[in-house]
A and B are shown apart, each in its own frame.
Chain A
Amino acid sequence: MSDRPNIIFINTDQHTWNVISAYGNEHVKTPNIDRLHNNGMSFMRSYSSDPVCAPARASWMTGRFTSEAGTPFNGGHLHEDIPDLGQVLKAGGYKAYHCGKWHVDGRDVHSSFDVLYHGQYPIGAGGAEYYDPAITHACVDFLTSYDGEDPFFMQAWYVNPHDICEYGHNFETKEMPDAVTRGQLREDELPPFPENFEYDERETVLHQVSRRIEDCLIHWPIMKATKTWDENQWRTFIWSHHRFVEKVDGEIGLILTAVEQSGLADNTLIIFSVDHGEAFGQL
């Protein structure tokens, strides 16, 4: 066994920072992320460098601001001459493995990492229901069979709770069901309505253009649909996001258990982060 630690980097996608039960959120149960918090250290003043999927991931992989890396938006291509974490770790004697969603535009994941699982088709936005269990299975297979002499870095990049976006898009063309009125959920089961929901009328022109003007936002159809949502519909949307978080928490639990049961725990550093959150209509 190497005296250098193995490193596992787990991330979830579209996971709002405080939707973790260990942080006091009573409307979600994340026992496995809580295990990491309770046995480790949480950095409460860390922030996404650019809270959009591809930009945030490019920053993770390069340690650069997205303005430097060429990735200030989804579809921005990472500059070829900037090395990424997989390449740096390999040069430093680590085995570097990737599993799951990649979404670092302009960089072929295979050029930087050995890939454990990357989907039958490239994993884009959404599809956790298809991909997340497969990501777990590949990671667990790896962890329970790794017998290399070199230390390894393995990143498990999950898709959920990003499926909340597709859940939301679904209601661009049909009415969001009110589960409370239907008797399927009690109102007290729903997370509270965000206190800062109403927008600040002093917002900048840029904000006004990007958020309020028809068709100025790529996700305008869902934004338009949400304008008719009442408080319970918003709260049902938030409730659904929390269920997706719990889904992926279960996947993370299987990885943590595999680390423990494979005898790797004493020499493995586990890092958990999120590329960006979900705003829930908040400012």
Chain B
Amino acid sequence: MAVTDQIHWSFQYDGRSQAPVFGERLIEIMQDTVIEDLVDDSAIVDRYLVLPNYWKGYRGRGLEEGDTQVEIGEVVVDRKQISSGNWKYDVRFLNQTSGEDLRLDFECLDNAFCTLTDSWNVSAVNGANSNDPVTCNWALFDVIPNMVDVMKISGDRISLTMLEDLEKVRENVRIGFMESFDLQVGNEVIPLDGFFNYGEGTLSSYWWLDQQGVVRIASTVFQTLVLISRKTGGGT
């Protein structure tokens, strides 16, 4: 069986990719992933490489001859617990296709939903009026790991309001457990737990966590984020 035949459908995009084949590159990245032992859980920096899911739409008509650089950018999620107990996030998404260098910083309460602190007057500005906790889409890298037991063991979905990119309110966002999956990465098998994320104004996305609760893969319609490194204890 080919390496990429063993990839779960929710992050399998070989059918629409160019050489190098999407799945092979995904596995290569995962073989190179470096996850530091947890020495200080009050400061964590995750770095993801972003793979395009489609050959069209990200470099004009596609890759040029000899171009083997498939990745279209990287995401860095840097969070630190500050003296108030809240979490300070610095997120950077460098997207070489759109040309945008998106940088967001925001603060969340120290709870499972990573609720945005009240400096975000979402109700007045954007009209969100649900009772769901309000978080940022970039905090899902922690919200989903925080809620694994609730979703996986009880089968419950969680419901959120998301302030997408700190700009757009997305209500009735639901996240739930999908299934477990063993991913063959070289000689290693990585057991993963998969979660779906559906909702109003939200791209369907699939999140895959390892047994330590680290988001290893996050796949939307057009792009797939693959963890390349996790550092703890500060520094980038």
Contacts and interface: CB of A to CB of B under 8 A. Distances in A.
Interface of A: 29, 31, 119-131, 133-134, 136-137, 163, 166-167, 169-170, 172-175, 177, 179, 182-185, 240, 243-244, 246-247, 249-251, 253-254
14 contacts: A124-B57, A126-B222, A127-B57, A130-B98, A134-B98, A134-B100, A169-B16, A169-B54, A184-B176, A240-B204, A243-B204, A246-B202, A250-B167, A250-B168
B203 A129 contact: yes
A70 B201 CA distance: 37
B16 A166 contact: yes
B100 A133 contact: yes
B58 A127 contact: yes
A185 B197 CA distance: 11
A243 B204 CA distance: 8
A244 B72 CA distance: 22
B167 A254 contact: yes
B99 A119 contact: yes
A184 B178 contact: yes
The DSSP consensus for interface residues of chain B is: loop
Contact of A166 (B54, B96, B202, B204): B54
A25 B82 CA distance: 46
B56 A134 contact: no
Contacts of A163: 221-222
B196 A29 contact: no
B54 A174 contact: no
A144 to B, nearest CB: 14
Nearest to B61: A124
B97 interface: yes
A255 B56 CA distance: 27
Interface of B: 9-10, 12-16, 53-54, 56-61, 72, 95-100, 102, 127, 164-165, 167-170, 176, 178, 196, 198-204, 220-223
Given A185-B198, A243-B201, A125 B56 contact: yes
Given A166-B54, A243-B201, A129 B168 contact: no
A184 B175 CA distance: 9
B98 A131 contact: yes
Across the A-B interface, give the 5 residue pairs with the lowest CB-CB distance, nearest first. Answer: A173-B15, A127-B57, A120-B99, A246-B201, A250-B168
In this complex, the member of A127, A130, A167, A254 whose beta carbon has the largest number of chain B beta carbons within 10 angstroms is A130
B224 to A, nearest CB: 11
Contact of B53 (A170, A175, A246): A170
Contacts of B98: 119-120, 130-131, 133-134
Contact of B168 (A166, A175, A253): A253
B15 A172 contact: yes
Contacts of B202: 243, 246-247
Contacts of A127: 54, 56-58, 97, 222
Contacts of B12: 174
Contacts of B201: 29, 243, 246-247, 249-250
Contacts of A126: 54, 56-57, 222
Contacts of A175: 9
A170 B60 contact: no
A250 B199 CA distance: 13
Given A124-B61, A253-B168, A247 B99 contact: no
Contact of A137 (B100, B127, B169, B176): B100
Contact of A250 (B10, B58, B164): B164
A130 B54 CA distance: 12
